[in-house]
Structure 1
Amino acid sequence: MGSLAQIDPTDQKQARVLVEAWLTGFENALTGGDAKSLHDLFHEVSYFRDNGAFTWDFVQFHSRDASISTLLRTNKVIKAHDFRVSSDWPAPRFQVQQDNSLTLEAFVDFETDNGRAVAVLNCLPNIKSLKLTAMYTRLEELKNIKGPEVHPRGNGYTPSYDGETWKQHHDIRRQYIDMDPEVLIVGSGQAGLIVAAHLEQLGVSTLIVDKNERVGDNWYRRYDALHLHNPVEMNGFPFLEFPKHFPEYLPKDLMGQWLETYAQYLDLNVWTSTEFLKGSYDDGTNKWTAILKTANGVTRVLHPSHIVLATGGVGGKPVVPELPGLSSFTGRVMHSSKYTKAADYGIKKAIVVGSATSAHDIADDLYKNGVETTMIQRGSTVVVNMDTANLTYAGYIDPSISTELVDLTYGIALINPIREQRSQAYHNMATEMDKDLLTRLEAVGFLIGHGVRRMGWLDLFLRTGGGYYFNKGTSDIIAAGGIRVEQYSRVSQFLPSGLKLNDGKVIEAGLVVLATGYQNRKAEVAEQFGCEIAEKVGDIGTLQDNDGEWTNIWGQTRQRGLWFNGGGINQVRPGSKRLALLIKADLDGLITEEFRRPQTVVVNGTNLSK
């Protein structure tokens, strides 16, 4: 391990010399298939994560042997070469860690036969050489791809007939009357629009369909009090920047307006009020039969090569738990996805079932509109003050650091052992910083959670998508007794007038809001593609400890031609570009069979194969 006694941590020239020497040895060993030399370049505890550059997939490996084996196997085909210190990213630099040890970070560009890529290296230095501890590689572009012409000459289109206007040409193109899109995207939220924008930049014909009446409805139709819970700096979209007057925390209606603007300005093909009913795959043609119900009630059948489901979060199917006696309740019952604002319901007392973000926001809205509100907590909840949560976004907020750089370094931070260690360290720090709030919450009966293995909300976001709340003031209201909290373990049953507790006490209510989350998107896959494909693909957007990647998001799935997009905007932004590049590579025949995920899986003794 490097030490300050051996190396001047401010000496960037020495850092560069060490990196260049390591890269020479790495490229020679990789090209020559020399496992022993690679072994000597890697630390005994080392990790490798790839987003499309070596594997045409999203994968990671948590041992030296697995990393080297994968690099050697894939490089026989992709032929990585010309590894060099990047001129587009920060220069190699030493970093002094909290224990006074020294590490080195470097950004590296390299080529493959079909693409260009970037790597982030974390190394342990000594005076003469480096040992790699972690490497993240990411596909940046495909070679020989001609993107859209910048400010094309003339009027920007070639008329199909004399006198055809731009609008007429544009409207006919969007109808896909005599042709099929290469890619069908289901969902016009941020995930659908951003991946469509990247595909169009790659020259891939793309159609977005959404059952909602307008682009942005996935935000417009949420509860009125909703704001984003992370700062505007981390939520930018590619190709079109937010205006400078946008507030720190975007209100949901402004977010909806932005999605509409984005789709219009980037000239994306969107069919609203169009429902994707079902799809079936033809292994002979490698195309889908996609059945759509359009706005005018007409059924359209399209045959895209790829389908991207971008309907996560509130686009999913709500979880409606079986609660004892709820059917006898004579007031109004709704899932949080249907809630608008307190004034719409004319009630004096309400019960919110759940204790994560939506539950807090809705309880807050009810309370501030004079409704006596009780929150029923079904499990422990990680609570973090907003300022404390924002510490994890420091790179995005710092104007001296580009969003692109933060996105890139986030890629190496998602290597599972690194992610777990950092999540635990952050959660322990946050718990100490917010000790006063957490103590006050516990005093009124709120059950504070710590997540899996004390990794807090950073892990829960990826693992389950819920179970935490960033406090914008509601926690203080709860701690002061303004919003009452009861544990679900104390619930006996619902009555016509409200909720009865085990001690016989009755909490009266005219409204019950179920802030109980959404089913895994696998349920949608079963409805739209059948149970066989759903079982073959598996869960969508969960975190598996033995793997580390977000299951089936952005990378390949076990069903050829079926892809998924989702997550927070700062995940969707870099993930969508890689997803678009993988789809384009597949359309161009670059992803050969040895790089495909196995299309066979056994479920309950049944072989679900191609």
Structure 2
Amino acid sequence: MPAAQHTMAGDTGHVEHPSPNFDDDYFARVLPTFDSLGATPPENPDAQAIARNWVASLATHSARQDAPGLVAALLHPAGWWRDLFALTWDLRSFAGAAAVAAFLADCLPARGLGDVALQSAEHQAPFPGLAWVLVRFAFGTRVAAGRGTARLVYGPDGAWRAFAVSTQLDELKSRSERLGDRRDFRTEQGDWEARRAAEREFADKDPEVLVVGAGHGGLGTAAHLKHLDVSCLVVERNERVGDNWRNRYDSLTLHDPIWTNHMPYLPFPPSWPVFSPARKIANWFESYVDALDLNVWTSAEALSAARDEHTKKWDVRVRRADGSERVLHVDNVVLAQGYTFKNVVFPGQEEFQGRLMHSTQYRSAKGLDAKKVVIMGACTSAHDIASDCVNHGIGDVTMIQRSSTYIISSQAAVRALVPASTWEHRPCHEIELDNFSMSFKLQSPLHTRVAAVMREMDRELLDDLARTGYRVKNGAAGDRGLFHLLFGRGGGYYLDTGACAKIIDGKIRVKSGSEVARITPTGVALADGTELPADVIVVATGVDCERKLARKLLGPTVGGRVPDIWGLNAEGELRGSWHELDGLDNMWFIHGNFATCRFYSKLIALQIKAKQEGIFGPRYAPPSSP
């Protein structure tokens, strides 16, 4: 499923152009349907010829640094341009011809755009009344090589112009990753184990980069940095790599299909189950560290971080398993701890005579001495835990659903969002070039149509759930499916792997529409006056703001400058994600699901490498982050 800030110091003539006010009516007007374009394209257009002409014109106008001519000839008036660190050293989306022209007028002279070459083209018709020619092209700047896409739509004048263009940083010139014929060709490797032990310890020098957290985001970033010859250390507070998955409930599996979850450089074997057990993933992470020679300290916690304004380094205090502490002086810090879970405290919970636990403390219902279980929450963890309780014979299981939940069956998600027919037969980097080529806001109206298709696929399931009193969010006004919930708020959904059938069959009860008033000695009292008796209460109230972890590390003064993380800014880009944090030089956030982290971990590593080589920036960024 496809996914900004400080001005361009040192550049001259730069004028900021605010983005328009984006709302549902705006998208309805500008989505390039045949009706809105006022033209129906030929039924079988010659995609290759159309793409060759467009790319040739892009090359000509770019060479001349002719931003107005480029926009007039090649971009639809309501078109978008998303740049992923190639021309802006930032993550930016520009909407409308005027904004794109201003951006190109600033960035073409500053960065250069040349060596433009067509790679492939195809005609696509994702929905009735909507079609384009998807063009993939390569290009270069003064310091880097990039990949780009353009979606060309047909106008009433018979011309094909781009409704959406992307330019993406792909490689730094003369600083390529050590892969293939660039890898280590030494015939004498000496005592490899001793050398690796010394590399991990950093006894005689500090790493250039410290990554905090050895989950999929942290390990993927470390792998890219290693292959770019940037020294990197990952600190993980758990005893083993993978414990962030290994220590969750026993029944946990990934809810995304395995073919979307490959790690950089080392894809999962094709024999793996589509929905992999969490402990299998945990063990894979350990193997990944070993296979790629990543430097990881386990049972190590980053306690504090402060930037030395004289050395321009981050001084990070790390406590290790034996209790010893070391201050590492590093150029960059990558925060990859993931989400923390909300630790909600309910009135009266200290009086509860049964067992109360958070979802992070729940392991299994096996051996759980309970006849009645109440689960606070109705998203992924709550459904998984309720289903596990039923599987282990607990006869009275109730979820408290405080607000509606978005439901998608795993089969619908696999078939409609990430079909194996695509993912199993194309390299991930090719799919990602397409999927991440549009601003999240531009994708929004497209996902409204995807959500409608998926609702029909799941119609029977949704109707059956609604009949039980379960409140489904599907079909609400502006329904953009998982897309909107994932990138807008990071929750509120459940990708069904079996719990919904148990709800429909009455094996899991759902109490909807009422807040918890308090915990009583014998159960949960709700605001509507009802009380649910319980022997065990599990609190599964979702995740908390990522800023809390950063603020704990940085302290109250500097930590207070950490901007909002997640949620969309005015340009339709995620706030605080995948680029240097505003006001906190050389500090980065990596987060998201496996596919998102796989894609953006490379871009973070390339930015860091560019900084280490002195070829980064300056960033071309909005003046503030709304």
| Equivalent position SS for 2:412 | helix
Matched, 1:513 2:538: yes
Tell whether the 8 Å contact from 2:135 to 2:150 is kept in structure 1 after alignment.
yes
Per mean C-alpha deviation after superposition, the further-off stretch among 398-407 and 337-346 is 398-407
Residue 115 (structure 1) aligns with = 144
Question: Once the two structures are superposed, what CA deviation does each residue of 1:257-309 show, in whole Å capped at 9, x if it has no partner?
Answer: 10000000000000000000010012332210000001110010001000001
Aligned partner of residue 440 in structure 1, secondary structure: helix
Q: Distance in 1 between matches of 2:125 and 2:530?
A: 58
Give me the whole-angstrom Cα distance separating, in 2, the residues matched to 1:133 and 1:601: 25
Of stretches 211-220 and 457-466 in structure 1, the one that deviates more from structure 2 is 457-466
- Aligned partner of residue 226 in structure 1, secondary structure: coil
Deviation at 1:211?
Answer: 0.4
2:156 is the counterpart of 1:130 = no
Residue 399 (str. 1) matches residue 424 (str. 2): yes
AA aligned to 2:57 is: W
Distance in 1 of aligned mates of 2:621 and 2:479: 36
Query: Quick check: 1:334 aligned with 2:357?
Result: yes
Where does the alignment leave 5 or more consecutive residues of structure 1 unmatched?
158-164, 603-610
Deviation at 1:121, TM superposition (A): 0.3
Q: Write the distance in 2 (CA, Å) between the matches of 1:69 and 1:596.
A: 13
CA–CA distance in structure 1, aligned partners of residues 618 and 422 of structure 2: 43
Moved more, 388-397 or 565-574: 388-397
Rounded to whole Å, the distance in 2 between the matches of 1:374 and 1:525 is: 35
Question: Where in structure 2 are the equivalents of 1:508-587 lying within 5 Å?
Answer: 508-540=533-565, 542-544=566-568, 546-558=570-582, 559-587=584-612
Deviations 1:17-69 (A, max 9, x none): 432343244324xx434425523432111111111111112221222222221
Deviations 1:491-534 (A, max 9, x none): 44321111234565542212111111121110111111123433
**TM-score, normalisation: structure 1:** 0.90
Change (3 A) 1:92 1:4: farther
Q: Root-mean-square deviation (CA), in Å?
A: 2.4
Shift of 1:4: 9.3
Residues 297-306 or 441-450, more deviating: 441-450
Letter in 1 for 2:381: S
Indicate which of 501, 519, 522 corresponds to 1:476.
Answer: 501
Q: How many residues are matched?
A: 583
Separation of aligned partners in 1, 2:271 and 2:238 = 28
Structure-to-structure mapping, 1:15-414, within 5 angstroms: 15-28=50-63, 31-86=64-119, 91-96=120-125, 98-100=127-129, 102-125=131-154, 129-145=159-175, 147-148=177-178, 149-156=182-189, 165-313=191-339, 316=340, 318-371=341-394, 372-390=396-414, 391-394=416-419, 397-413=422-438
Q: 2-side partners of 1:178 and 1:561: how far apart?
A: 23
Unaligned runs of 5+ in 2: 1-33
**1:140-160: CA deviations, max 9, x gaps?**
100111543525222335xxx
Equivalent AA in structure 2 for residue 384 of structure 1: I
Q: Take 2:73 and 2:422, find their aligned partners in 1: how far apart are those partners? A: 39
Distance 1:167 1:6, change over 3 A: closer
State the shift of 1:596 in Å. Answer: 6.9
Given the superposition, is the C-alpha separation of residues 6 and 437 from structure 1 closer, same or farther in structure 2, using an over 3 Å criterion?
A: closer
Distance 2:197 2:409 in 1: 48
SS at match of 1:239: coil
Partner AA of 1:93 in structure 2: E
Q: Deviations 1:349-402 (Å, cap 9, x if unpaired)? A: 111100001100000001111222110111110011111111101267553333
Aligned residue identity for 1:111: G
- The Cα of 1:346 is off from its aligned counterpart by 2.0
Instruction: Report the equivalent of 2:481.
Output: 456
2: CA distance, partners of 1:251 / 1:95: 36
> C-alpha distance in 2, partners of 1:435/1:512?
32
Q: Which runs of 4+ in 1 moved over 6 A?
A: 1-6
Deviations, residues 177-212 of structure 1 (Å, cap 9, x unaligned): 121100000000111111100000100000000100
Relative contact order higher in (CA < 8 Å, ≥ 6 apart): 2
CA distance in 1, matches of 2:50, 2:43: 9
Does structure 2 retain, via aligned residues, the 8 Å contact 1:556–1:597? Answer: no
- Does the residue aligned with 1:337 lie in a helix, a strand or coil? coil
- Does the C-alpha gap of structure 1 residues 502 and 178 become closer, same or farther in structure 2, counting only changes over 3 Å? closer
Residue 244 of structure 1, CA deviation: 2.6
Alignment match of 2:44 (pick from 3, 6, 9): 9
Give CA-to-partner distance per residue, 1:400-453, whole Å, 9 cap, x none: 33322211111124x134311122112222223222222222222211114783
Q: Specify the SS of the correspondent of 1:430.
A: helix
Q: Secondary structure at the match of 1:361?
A: helix
Whether contact under 8 Å (1:234, 1:396) holds in the other structure is no
Deviates more, 1:320-329 or 1:57-66: 320-329
